[in-house]
Structure 1
C-alpha cells in the first residue's frame, strides 16, 4: 500500500476499502486518547517548539499540496484539532500553496502560542518556480500568513554542498531579516548528503531540516550516516527538524510507522519532526504513538 492510497482512503474509509481489497488489512490506527504533544528545546537556538509539527506540504509543488486540496474549512478544522492536542507548529513553504490556510488557522488561536516555519525556494525549479528578490518574498509571506513575523525561515531544498557560496546573497538577506526581528531563526532544508554535512558545521544556520527514518527511505544516506551528521549538528547547537519520517509514503504500514517513530524519537539527535496529516485520525494516531514512545 502506498502513501497516496493511505491518505486518500483515510481512517473513516478503511472499513469500506477493506471490503474491496485485502491489501489494507494491516492498516490500523491507535484510538484517540488524552495525550498531548510536549514542548522541547530546539537545539540551543533559544526557541521552544512542539515536538510534532503539522506538515502542510505532502506532495507539495506548483503551489499546491494534499493539505491544500483539503480545502480551507477542513484544513482549519484539522489545524485547530492539532492545536488542542499540542501540535502548535506549522511547517509550510511557498511552493506548497498553504500560506493563506495557515494564516486562517492562526486567526483561531493565540499567535504567540504557535510556531510557524516557512521556506523560500531560491533557485529556478524547472518551468514552474522562479525565485524573486528576498524582500518581495518575505513581505508576501507575511501578508499571506497574516503575521508580523515568522519563527523559522529556511532556504528550501538545498541539493549540494556549495549552497553557502551559491546563495550567499540570500543568506545575507536572511540574516538581516533576523536582525530586524522579521524572522526569529534561520536555516535550511537539505535534500543532499553534502548539503546536510555542511549545514551541520555552518555558523550561519540556526536550524537544519533533514530527511530521517529507520529504513533509509527517501533519504540522503543510510540512517547511520545521517544520524552521525545530525549528532554533529546537535553538538554544534543546531535545532534539528526531522522530515520524511514515514519515507514520503513508503513506510505507512503500522509496524513501519512504529519503528520509524521509535528510531527518530529515541535517537536524541532530532528535536522535533514534521508529518503531513490529512485527517484527524492520522494525527491522533501519531500523537498517541509519540506520547507512548517518549514515556517508555
Structure 2
C-alpha cells in the first residue's frame, strides 16, 4: 500500500468515501460488516523514519499503570475482541506499553485473528532509565508479544527538558537495537512542555508522541504552544503521533469535535485512541469517514 502524507490523505479519502458513509451508530455498538473504512485505515508516512502506520491507532492504556488499564478491566474476552475487531476493520497500528500490561493481549489477538506480523505497526514504550534496564525490557517485551522486533520503542512519560542527558544510556541502547533490527525506530512519549520541546529538536528522535485535543485536557501547554512544538518536530523530519485526542475519555461526548480537530491538524501524522469495546472503535471510524468526506 502506497504511503501518503496528511494533506493527500484528506483529499483522497474525501473522494473515495463520499458515496459510502453510513449513519452514525450509538457509541459502543459494533458494526459487524467487517469492511475496512479508508479514513481510519489509510497508511500515513511518519516523517523521515521510513515507516508508516494507519491513521488511527488502537490505544491500550487508558488510565493505565502497574500493568493494568481500563481495557484490561473490561475483561479478557472484551479486550481481545476490541483488538481483533480493529484488525478486521483495517487498523494496523497498535499502541502498547510495558506499564499498560497489554503485550500478552496483543500476542493472543494476533494468534486468534491470524494477523500477519509484517502488516502490523507495533509501538511500545519502556520506563527504563539505564541501558541495562532497557536492553532487558526489549528482550522480555519481544517475548511477551511473540515478535522478533518492534516497529517503534519509545522512552515513556518524559517530563523534563534535560531528558537527553538523563537518558543517554537508554538512548545509546535503543540506537544499538535499531542497528541490529530489534527496533525499526526510536523516540519518546512526552508529558511536559519542556520534554516535548527538547524532543522536537533532538536528532536522536525518530518518532514523537504528544498530547493534543481541542479542550486542552491532559495537555502540556496551550493549543498554540503544542501546535508550534509538534509542527517544529514534523519540520525536523520526525514522525508525530497525537494522543489524548479525547482527553483520556473525558470528552467522549464531544468526540466528533475532537476528531475533526485532530484530522485538521498539520502538526501530526496519525493519532491513537483507547477503546473499551469494539463499538466505540466503530463509532470513531464512522466519524472519521464523515469528517473526511466533508
Q: CA deviation at 1:183?
A: 0.2
Residues 49 and 257 from structure 1, CA distance in 2 versus in 1: closer, same or farther, beyond 3 angstroms? same
| Residue 150 (structure 2) pairs with residue 150 (structure 1) | yes
Counterparts of 1:260 and 1:217 in 2: how far apart (Å)? 11
Instruction: Check whether the contact 1:209–1:241 (CA below 8 A) recurs between aligned residues.
Output: yes
Aligned mates of 1:78, 1:86 — CA distance in 2: 13
Please give the secondary structure, in 2, of the residue aligned with 1:53: strand
Query: What displacement does 1:252 show?
Result: 1.4
CA distance in 2, matches of 1:279, 1:75: 7
Report the counterpart of residue 109 of structure 2 in structure 1. 105
TM-score (norm 2): 0.85
Partners of 2:86 and 2:192 lie apart in 1 by: 31
Q: Which 5+ residue runs of structure 1 have no aligned equivalent?
A: 1-26, 125-130
- How do 1:243-262 and structure 2 match up within 5 A? 243-253=243-253, 256-262=254-260
SS in 2 for 1:234: helix
Report the secondary structure of 1:247's partner residue.
coil
Q: CA deviation at 1:87?
A: 1.4
Whether the aligned pair in 1 keeps the contact of 2:154 and 2:187 (CA below 8 Å) is yes
Is the contact made by 1:266 and 1:294 (CA closer than 8 Å) also made in structure 2?
no
Separation in 2, partners of 1:65, 1:143 = 21
- Alignment correspondent of 1:117: 123
CA distance in 2, matches of 1:148, 1:178: 12
- Counterpart contact for 2:187–2:206, Cα < 8 Å: yes
* 1:79-228 correspondence to structure 2 within 5 Å: 79-107=83-111, 108-123=114-129, 133-228=133-228
**RMSD of Structure 2 on Structure 1 (CA):** 1.9
Deviation at 1:249, TM superposition (A): 2.5
The answer on whether the counterparts of 1:55 and 1:274 sit within 8 Å (CA) in structure 2 is yes
* C-alpha distance in 2 between matches for 1:55 and 1:192: 20
Q: 1:90-124: CA deviations, max 9, x gaps?
A: 10101011111111122231111111000000249
Equivalent position SS for 2:174: helix
2:47 to 37, 43, 56: 43
Offset of 1:165 from its aligned partner?
A: 0.2
Within 2, Cα distance between the matches of 1:284 and 1:236? Answer: 34
Distance 2:227 2:258 in 1: 13
Deviation of 1:190 (Å) = 0.3
For structure 2, the 5+ residue unaligned runs are 1-24
Give the superposition deviation at 1:216.
0.5
Is 1:77 equivalent to 2:92 in the alignment? no
Which one of the candidate residues 278, 282, 285 is aligned to 1:284? 282
Task: Give, in whole Å, the separation in 2 of the partners of 1:282 and 1:121.
Answer: 29
1:78 & 1:244 partners in 2: Cα distance?
A: 19
TM superposition shift of 1:199: 0.6
| Other structure's SS at 2:115 match | coil
Alpha-carbon contact 2:84-2:110 (below 8 Å) kept: no
Please give the TM-score of this superposition, normalised by the length of structure 1. 0.84
